[in-house]
Amino acid sequence: MSIFWLKLRMWLLMAVLFSIVYGIIVAVSASLGIGNFWFYLIISIGMMFIQYMIGPKMVEWSMRVKYVSEKEEPNLYAMLKDLATRAAVPMPRVGVADIEIPNAFAFGRWKSDGRICVTRGIMRLLNEDELRAVLGHEMTHLKNKDVLTITLLSVIPIVLYRIAFSTLYYGGGRRREGGGNAMLIGIAAMLFYFITNLLVLYASRIREYFADRGSVALGCAPKHLATALYKLVYGSARADKESLKQVEGLKAFFINDPSAALNEIRELRQLDIDGSGIIDADELAALSAKNVNISFGQRLMEVMSTHPNMVKRIKQLSLYK
C-alpha cells in the first residue's frame, strides 16, 4: 500500500462523504425549506467546534496527563525533539499519562499546539528503539494534521443524524404538506448516517496506516514498530476491565485499540515464529511473502473499529523498507 494509494483513498473518501452531504442539502432544502436545514447545520458545526477547542483539556483530564520538561524526562524529550526536526514540525509539548495501560497518543488543535503523551505502562514495556518507533507514529499524526481531518469528517454523520431525527419525529406537518417526501428524506438521512459513520471509521483506519508509514519515513525500523504493536496488544490484554473502561472514550487517539487486544492475540501468535516476544527482521520478511488469513469475525470487528486489524497492519509494515 503506497503512500500515493493511501492519499488517494483519503481524498476519494472525503469526496464521497461531502457528496452525500451535498445530496442531502439539496433534498432537504427542496422539501423542508432552506432556513430549517441551515439551523441544524450551524448547531452541529458549532457543537463540533466547541468540542474541538475544549478537546485537549478533556483528554488531559481523562488521561491524567502531566507535562514534563527535558530535565524530568531527558530520553523521551530527546527522541521527540529529533523526530520533530526530521518531520519539520514544531516541537510538541511532552506529557506522561499516569495510567498503566501501555499506549501513546497525540492531540492538539493545530500543528503548533501539538502534544504527544505516553503512559507509564508503555515506558516500562518497550525498549528505546520500540518507543521511538511509536513516537514517530504519533509525530506523523501531528505532521499530517489528521486530528483536524477526522474532526471535520465527524461533523457529517452528526448533521445527518440531526436531520433524520428532526424530520422523522418533529416534521409531521411538513410530511403531510410534502406528500411523504419529508418521511423519505428522514429515512434516507438515517441510512446515510450509518453509512457515513462507517466511512469516518474507515478514514480513521487509513490515518493509522499513514502514521505507520510516517514512522518508517522518520527513520524508525519497521521491525521496531511491529514489535511495539505486538507488545502493546499483549500489554493491553493483561489490563483489568476497569482500566479499559476508563479509556474507552479516548481509544481513537491511541496507537492501538486496547479493547480489541484479547481478540487480536489469537491471530498475532502466528507472527512470532520463534516465541521470542518480538517480531524480528526475518519474521517480518517471512510475513511479507505470505498471505494472512483474517477470520470473518475479525473482518467484521475491523469495519466497526477506529484501528486496522493488527495482523493486516503488521503485514503492511513488512512491505516497507
Question: From the candidates 60, 128, 138, 248, which is the catalytic residue?
Answer: 138
Q: Do residues 107 and 253 lie in contact, with contact meaning Cβ atoms separated by under 8 Å?
A: yes
The 10 Å Cβ neighbour count of residue 2 is: 9
Distance separating alpha carbons of residues 209 and 191, to the nearest angstrom: 28
The DSSP line for 145-193 is THHHHHHHHHHHHHHHHHHHHHHHHH-HHHHHHTTTHHHHHHHHHHHHH
Give the end-to-end CA distance of the chain in Å, rounded to a whole number: 12
Distance separating alpha carbons of residues 198 and 304, to the nearest angstrom: 7
Q: What cell was used for 203?
A: 478514514
Distance separating alpha carbons of residues 195 and 188, to the nearest angstrom: 10
- DSSP for residue 255: S
* Residue 138 bears catalytic tag: yes
Q: Which residues are catalytic?
A: 138
